């Protein structure tokens, strides 16, 4: 389109010149001026072609890179997106990087591509999606006690080499900025340090430099009460950019505060560096269970757990084909049923569920909760007319390479996903009172894709299947 416009522009210029200056055709002197004009135009045209070829080369490299990435990803979409770095980078790519490509080629794009891109773009992730994915990566760092270098290289526990993807210095910087926007200076420091480390190791970046990263670093550690590191980062920044106004002001301020601190009784100001306080009081225990660091049963308790074939009290179907039942926990009793659903049935459920957003995404979790309605929630299930949730049936429709356990924070139990199996537990005592030991949570998925399906069994209709005890306290 731009080339056509340029040729039209040349034609109009020639036409207007000949009509205004008819003597050009009869005067060699005048025509030599046209030769100079033409030479200048040809030079401009070549510059335009060179610029367009450069654009096309950039677009080609982009297309080749994405073609290769898509080919690998589409061989096993769930496995690929099961790696949290891949999921984050997909969000970032569609929300941020495609915009840069659009700016590069928009003027030369065909109407069909513009139309198609405009239609498809409304389905792309937005800023909130990218921010959510960034927070999920940081949550995985905390829950599974990973360091930023492990996350950045993609070498996560349970991840396959074919699905590994690395974070660039730009990615780490963006993750740090998300934490910074939340005034989470602890995680800002972690991600900015990783970005700086990768830049120091020679990684090239098109959007961020060491000066910018050091600016964030000095402020984030200062906000955590670490004056000496803040001063150190500021000095290094000024070595790279001696004219940086904010850094020059910060240097004087940090030096003054440090001198003042050393002169005060009691020595230096106490640093508050560390993970920010959390709204969830049981966060520490929850994360320990997610890492497999939960309560270990005594041999005596463990000896009371059994595996068995279950025929559902001589039900004809299950006498012929009993189900495999395994005790997972004793108090409260949690039972797993193996091979309870086929792969074909699982795929059908997933097919029906996908249009409704139905599995755990990047870093997906479900925080500690009860399945039953408590006394302060008397109307929790009133609209159903079926009473409280007497029991839970949780079906695992996928294996998970790392993370994704169902944990019971009150008793220390951790149940790990196993495709085709289901776990069952009672939420209520026989008396109808809630069993507060059943408080549970879904741990974030570190690597893999977690699909679950659950069925809540309510009180109505269960009166003769699970009779009330003789005592109110049963």
Mean pLDDT per block of 10 residues along the chain (474 residues) reads 32 34 43 65 76 84 87 87 90 86 69 66 82 92 96 92 91 97 96 98 94 97 95 97 96 92 63 82 93 89 94 84 95 96 94 77 86 88 91 96 95 96 96 94 92 93 83 68
| Whole-number pLDDT of residue 3 | 31
- Superfamily (CATH H level) for 284-458: q2cbj1_9rhob like domain (2.60.120.620)
Evaluate whether 199 touches 153 at the Cβ level (below 8 Å): no
| Whole-number pLDDT of residue 197 | 98
Pick the CATH number of 182-264 from 3.40.50.450, 1.20.120.530, 1.25.40.10, 1.10.540.10: 1.25.40.10
| Whole-number pLDDT of residue 121 | 74
Tokens 């020639």 map to which residue? 14
Q: What is the DSSP string of 315-378?
A: -HHHHHSPEEEEEEETTTTEEEEES-S-HHHHHHHHHHHGGG--SB-TT--EEEE-SS--TT-T
How do the domains of the chain map onto residue ranges? Answer: 2-64, 182-264, 284-458
Distances in Å between the Cα of 339 and the Cα atoms of 319, 324, 459 are: 16, 7, 27
Please tell me the pTM assigned to this model: 0.80
Evaluate whether 363 touches 84 at the Cβ level (below 8 Å): yes
Q: What letter would DSSP give residue 149?
A: H
Q: What is the DSSP string of 23-57?
A: GGGT-HHHHHHHHHHHHHHHHHHHHHHHHHHHHHH
The C-alpha R_g of the chain, in whole angstroms, comes to 32
| Whole-number pLDDT of residue 278 | 82
| Whole-number pLDDT of residue 144 | 96
| Whole-number pLDDT of residue 108 | 59
Evaluate whether 273 touches 190 at the Cβ level (below 8 Å): no
What is the biggest distance separating any 2 CA atoms in the chain, rounded to whole angstroms?
121
Evaluate whether 251 touches 244 at the Cβ level (below 8 Å): no
Lookup: tokens for 222:
């200062």
Evaluate whether 273 touches 226 at the Cβ level (below 8 Å): yes
Distance between CA atoms of residues 295 and 289, nearest Å: 8
| Whole-number pLDDT of residue 43 | 77
Distance between CA atoms of residues 101 and 110, nearest Å: 14
| Whole-number pLDDT of residue 2 | 36
Helix (H) or strand (E) holding 260: helix 245-263
């Amino acid at each position: 389109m731009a080339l056509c416009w340029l040729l039209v522009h040349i034609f109009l210029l020639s036409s207007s010149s000949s009509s205004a200056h008819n003597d050009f055709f009869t005067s060699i002197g005048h025509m030599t001026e046209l030769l100079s004009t033409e030479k200048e135009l040809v030079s401009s045209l070549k510059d335009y072609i060179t610029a367009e070829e450069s654009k096309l080369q950039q677009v080609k490299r982009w297309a080749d890179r994405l073609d290769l990435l898509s080919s690998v990803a589409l061989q096993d979409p769930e496995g690929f997106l099961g790696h949290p770095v891949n999921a984050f980078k997909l969000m970032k790519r569609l929300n941020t990087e495609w915009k840069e490509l659009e700016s590069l080629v928009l003027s030369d794009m065909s109407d069909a591509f513009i139309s198609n891109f405009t239609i498809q773009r409304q389905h792309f992730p937005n800023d909130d999606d990218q921010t959510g994915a960034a927070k999920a990566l940081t949550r995985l760092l905390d829950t599974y006690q990973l360091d930023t270098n492990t996350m950045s290289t993609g070498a996560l526990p349970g991840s396959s080499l074919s699905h590994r993807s690395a974070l660039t210095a730009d990615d780490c910087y963006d993750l740090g900025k998300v934490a910074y926007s939340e005034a989470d200076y602890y995680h800002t420091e972690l991600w900015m340090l990783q970005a700086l480390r990768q830049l120091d190791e020679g990684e090239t970046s098109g959007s961020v430099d060491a000066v910018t990263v050091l600016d964030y670093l000095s402020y984030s550690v200062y906000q955590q009460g670490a004056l000496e590191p803040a001063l150190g980062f500021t000095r290094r920044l000024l070595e790279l950019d001696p004219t940086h106004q904010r850094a020059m002001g910060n240097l004087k301020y940090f030096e003054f505060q440090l001198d003042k601190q050393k002169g005060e009784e009691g020595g230096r100001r106490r640093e508050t560096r560390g993970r920010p306080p959390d709204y969830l009081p049981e966060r520490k225990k929850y994360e320990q269970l997610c890492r497999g660091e939960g309560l270990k049963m005594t041999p005596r308790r463990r000896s009371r757990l059994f595996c068995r074939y279950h025929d559902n009290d001589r039900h004809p179907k299950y006498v012929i084909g009993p189900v495999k039942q395994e005790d997972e926990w004793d108090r409260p009793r949690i039972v797993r049923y193996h091979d309870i659903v086929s792969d074909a049935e699982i795929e059908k459920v997933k097919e029906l569920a996908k249009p409704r957003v139905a599995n755990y995404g990047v870093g997906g979790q479900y925080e500690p909760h009860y399945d039953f309605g408590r006394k302060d929630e008397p109307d929790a299930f009133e609209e159903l007319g079926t009473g409280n949730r007497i029991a839970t049936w949780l079906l695992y429709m996928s294996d998970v390479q790392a993370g994704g356990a169902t944990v019971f924070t009150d008793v220390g139990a951790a149940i790990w996903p196993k495709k085709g199996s289901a776990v069952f537990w009672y939420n209520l005592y026989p008396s109808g009172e809630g069993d507060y030991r059943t408080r549970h949570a879904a741990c974030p998925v570190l690597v893999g894709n977690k699909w679950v399906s659950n069925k809540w069994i309510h009180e109505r209709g269960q009166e003769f299947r699970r009779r009330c005890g003789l005592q109110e306290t049963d």
